[in-house]
Structure 1
């Protein structure tokens, strides 16, 4: 059972929004903090806040800006002393300007930097500044949404240089965070998680060859992740899990 105070980063749509909905339905969850980057994409999140004004608290945050993370954590610390669950759903694959690279000739340094800032550096900055809220006697879990394509051992197709590399960096960052957290916040479990192909805006252009039974709704993805979280034990910290709770190669 999920309990205590929860934080969903990147909660305006897709997996993050579904996680917020499911946490709000948990009676043992006291407060849910949800972040969004762009207000225009967070209308459904704002509607939920109006429905749960004493349980859901929304905050605008760009995790690529460390000063914003600092201010956000100060806001949290004024409200709560302990955080029990944090799930970072912020990620970037493509938009109207930038697409994943199919070959070396498409490599662009600015695009690579953007992948790393959003997909990996932001997560380790969160780990840095959220640490005081994990330092308590209760079990807590910090999850970063990764991707199977970030597995070096599982890379048999190539391509997608920036996305693959930034997710591999995320995995290394959080593995290293888990080792430090074991010393300074020993009741916090840190994992990265591959949610499977989820029917969201991020994956929509790339769903053509995905079997129907392997294309998950955001609701199913959120449910599978929360089920895994309830089963995690301290030795699982620092691991890379797949949607079916199996461990993925680095």
Structure 2
């Protein structure tokens, strides 16, 4: 475990979503954090994962954050839902799913990673999902979401390798928040037991506890809300 050097600035991308808002609120209460920069399509400085120019513009407003969390995700929206069969696959839906779940977070890393300090603990964390684990896939279905999150995990792993050569104490990880009571999971909660459906506040507290416990040896890893490593 390596501690953050206070005071430090934090960034939450997706700060108006369920988990993102809870993360931003919890970080704002942390005495070690001097400022929380929250970005989404609805913030004063808008950030749209489908528009790289807005990602670059948002990054330009931040100096040297020690913590960058990408708390975004797309599972469903009007005209898009998780596929149950190969016959359900649609090219436009797959492109949209990858744009938000893989390409957008990759571009956030592209523009925000150069901002972190060269020394001391810094963490770049991307919220993915356990269903993005190829090794853990025994149920099938959800083709696009699974594949996009698996690809995001690979982006994280590859970025970690690059960062290690330049910033020895930097940590880049993928995190699984569990099933959280948000709009993303709402249509799929019936099969989730009450003790496994987390509030955004609980998920935020657990994710930040995991982040606090990370050290350089953990970079490139994939961790659940309880700190357990998940196979890629």
Q: Which has the higher contact order (CA 8 A, sep 6+)?
A: 2
Does the 8 Å contact 2:66/2:117 carry over to 1? no
SS at match of 1:84: strand
Deviations 1:110-139 (A, max 9, x none): 110111111011111111111221142121
Offset at residue 72 of structure 1 (A): 1.6
Of 215, 221, 229, the residue aligned with 1:233 is 215
**For the aligned residues, what is the CA RMSD?**
1.3
Alignment TM-score, normalising by the size of structure 1: 0.88
1:26 counterpart residue number: 30
Aligned residues: 228
Cα distance in 2 between the residues matched to 1:13 and 1:113: 22
Does the 8 Å contact 1:33/1:59 carry over to 2? no
2:85 counterpart residue number: 103
Q: Which runs of 5+ in 1 are unaligned?
A: 43-57
Alignment TM-score, normalising by the size of structure 2: 0.95
- Residue 186 of structure 2 corresponds to residue 182 of structure 1: no
Does the 8 Å contact 2:118/2:166 carry over to 1? no
Shift >4 Å, 4+ stretches = none
Of 180, 198, 216, the residue aligned with 1:198 is 180
Offset at residue 59 of structure 1 (A): 2.4
Cα distance in 2 between the residues matched to 1:132 and 1:194: 24
Counterparts of 1:105-120 in structure 2 under 5 Å? 105-120=87-102
Deviations 1:182-239 (A, max 9, x none): 0122221000011100000000100001111100000000000111111101000000
2:46 counterpart residue number: 60
Cα distance in 2 between the residues matched to 1:196 and 1:100: 18
Cα distance in 2 between the residues matched to 1:135 and 1:211: 42
SS at match of 1:241: strand
Deviations 1:130-169 (A, max 9, x none): 1221142121001000100000111111110000000000
2:141 counterpart residue number: 159
Does the 8 Å contact 2:69/2:126 carry over to 1? yes
